[in-house]
Amino acid sequence: MEWLTKWFDKDNLSHTADILSVIGFVITIIGFVVTLFVFVTIRNIRSFYVFQARVPDLLDKISEHSTRLVKYNKLYDKSKPDILLEIGQIEVTLKSLKKKVSKEIQASIGKTNKEIISYKSNPYQDQFWKIYVSLQQVKQEITYLQEDQKWESK
């Protein structure tokens, strides 16, 4: 107990306070670093499971959209109202998908959205087909990403 009274003696009190301040500061910095690590780890785990759970359904929807686009392309002139409806549904699917994928795939989704905007302002069959091609690119990138994640999780 003698050391305790020595530490808190009036003459050493300022020195003791300085030491305790430094110790508290170091512990605070360590706690901050641990918090950041936990935050990043949880975010990565959440992203992985959201991708695994939701993206396959959205990929199926993209496949369905693609199938309908091919059908509408064959009867383009008669299908214009259906095409606009389908494009609206594609936009919603892509918007949902964009939140769940990497930046590289987000760029492809952005390209597809630009093709859709271009078609809406210039509704010709060639521009319509560019939407289909761009949608296929997004679909293929997601498929490859899913395959890569299967290998990474093993």
Per-residue pLDDT of the chain (154 residues; tens, 9 = 90+): 666 666 666 666 677 778 889 999 999 999 999 999 999 999 888 877 777 778 889 999 999 999 999 999 999 999 999 999 999 999 999 999 998 888 888 999 999 999 999 999 988 999 999 999 999 999 999 998 888 877 766 5
Q: Compute how many other C-beta atoms are within 10 angstroms of the C-beta atom of residue 69.
A: 21
Q: What is the domain count for the chain? A: 1
Kindly state the helix (H) or strand (E) to which residue 109 belongs, with its residue range: helix 103-121
Whether 61 contacts 148, CB under 8 Å: no
Distances (CA, A) of 124 to 49, 70, 77, 112: 40, 15, 10, 16
**pTM recorded for the entire structure:** 0.70
Dist CA 83 CA 71 (whole Å): 10
User: What are the structure tokens assigned to 145, written together?
Assistant: 């990403």
Domain that holds residue 138: 2-152
